[in-house]
Structures are given as structure tokens and as C-alpha cells.
Amino acid sequence: MTSLLEVKHLTKRFGGITAVNDCSFEVQEGSITALIGPNGSGKTTAFNIITGYLKADSGSISFRGKDIAEPDPAKLYRSGLSRTFQQARIFPEISVLENLIVASGYSWKGLLGARTTNGDRKIAGEMLEEFKLSALADFYASELSYGQRKLLEFASVLMSSPKLVLLDEPTAGVNPVMIETMERHIRSRHASGVTFLIVEHDMQLVMRLCDPVIVLDHGAMIAQGTPTQVQANAQVLDAYLGS
């Protein structure tokens, strides 16, 4: 296995607070890697830096073996790195189908072309089929439930056929059935060759789905290993429970 994403000595300060502190880790190709840690440990900040939403104070990131000097969200997305957000950010005023089409990474020529071509509808339709959202295709995305929005956001960022998908708390605030649904979709996409990096607070899900698990605390990596190794790690227990 080779590493798909490499983060080296990443540091980010907000005023006096160091959100990410000399943090280094790798995501191996073909893995479902978890990034866990107590609230405020810098997981989302790390996500935002990796995907170009925030500028790091220092450190480097490489994706698919290439150094990303100035991460730009659009360029990264088009080169195969997708992400979702904690709050399920979708576009409420366009239809569910259009939410997928708009994320398909169309060319400049496509930009001037029809809003939805037959080709778009076919590809997006297949994705909706996979996520069992076909019945909602023509609804405004604003009419979806929170869980459905999370599914839609996940489905939409797969439209670019990504190599690596960063999921920020994919099951936060959704019902248990939806957690299972989400897990099933992650597994099926993983089986077809997509690598995942997941921030998640549902430890049961993390333990049965992810390997390896990376633990952050105060912006730095404190442990890395299989779920069992991490669960037994004294430093991890200390970070979560305090001593």
C-alpha cells in the first residue's frame, strides 16, 4: 500500500490558540482511516486545511504523491479529493438531481451548455438509484430531511469519481437506520476502490468500520493504530476522559 494523502508538520494558529500543532499523518490508499479526538482537538481544522478552505501557518500536504503548494478547493475536488461538511451543506434552492449535476465537475464547454443534458440526467440518475433517492429527484433539496441531506451531500461529492473522500461526521445527528445506511454506502464505495478519511464521534461505528484510527488531541497526533490498539492506549483514554 502507498500513501494517498500525506500531511507533514501541519500547524495552524487562531490568535493565541493553536488548533493544529505540528500534526503529521498519512492516509494509505484503499483504507478507511478514522480521525478521532475530543471536541476542539483540531479534526475539522485539519480537514479545512487539507481541502484548501484554510491556509496553514506551516507544514506541507501531498496528495497522490504530488505536493500541494497552494490547496484550492475546486482544483483538489477536480483532481479526486472530495469532502463533506459537518452540517450537510447542500444547495437548497435547486432540485436533488441538480445538486448532483452541479457537483459533476463539468468543463468550460459544459458550463456554457444546457443546464441538464441527457447525459447528466443518466449519470446523476444512477447515483440517485444507488442512494435510493430517485423518488426525490425533482424535489427541492430544501424539502429533504436532515439525514437525506447528509446522504445527498455524500452522493454529490462522489459525482467527480474521487480517489479520496473526507467525511466530516457523516452520521452526526441522524437516526440509527440512517447510520446503517450511511455505513453501507461507505462500505460499498470502499469496495469499488475509494479511500476514506472519516471524522466521527460514533465510536461503535469507527471501531467496526475504520482501520487505522488516528487520534488527535490539542491539534497533535497522539496515537495511531488498529481500533483495538487505540482503545487500549493510555494516552487516548487520558485525552478523552482526563486524568
Partner 1 sequence: MSKAGIIRAVTFFGILALLPLGVKPQWVINLLIFTLMYSTLASSWNLIGGYAGYPSLGHAAFFGFGAYFIGIIFESSIGNGYNPFLILPLVGLCAGLISIPIGFIAMKTRKDVFAIVTITLLFMVQTLAYNLRAVTGGAQGKGVAVPPFDPANFGRPFYYVMLILLLVAMSISFYFRRSKIGLSLAAVRADEDKAHGVGIQVTAVKLIAFALSVGIASMVGGVWGYYEGFIYPQFAVDPLITIGMVLMTFLGGRATLWGPVLGAFILVPAQQYFAYEFGATQFYLLAYAAIFLIIMLVLPRGILPTLTDRIRIKAKIAVEANK
Question: What residues make contact with partner 1 under the rule CB under 8 A?
Answer: 51, 53, 73-74, 77-78, 82-83, 85, 89-94, 98, 101-103, 105-106, 108, 110-116, 156-157, 159-160
105/125 with CB nearer partner 1: 105
Torsion of CA 146, 42, 27, 199, to 10 degrees: -20
107/192 with CB nearer partner 1: 107
Quote the CA–CA distance of 32 and 190 in Å, as a whole number.
8
Residue 133 grid coordinates:
433517492
38/110 with CB nearer partner 1: 110
Single-letter amino acid code for the residue at 14:
F
Which strands form 213-217's sheet, in the order they lie side by side? 81-83, 164-168, 195-199, 32-36, 213-217, 220-225
The least CB distance from residue 107 to partner 1, in Å, is: 9
104/224 with CB nearer partner 1: 104
The least CB distance from residue 113 to partner 1, in Å, is: 6
Let me know: does 182 contact 154? Beta carbons within 8 Å.
Answer: yes
Q: Tell me which residue of 165, 53, 160 sits closest to 110, measured CA to CA.
A: 160
191 dihedral zone (left: phi>0; alpha: psi -120 to 50; beta): alpha
The least CB distance from residue 77 to partner 1, in Å, is: 4
Quote the CA–CA distance of 33 and 41 in Å, as a whole number.
17
66/115 with CB nearer partner 1: 115
The least CB distance from residue 53 to partner 1, in Å, is: 7
155/205 with CB nearer partner 1: 155
What is the separation, in whole angstroms, between the first and last Cα of the chain? 37
14 dihedral zone (left: phi>0; alpha: psi -120 to 50; beta): beta
The least CB distance from residue 206 to partner 1, in Å, is: 24
The least CB distance from residue 80 to partner 1, in Å, is: 11
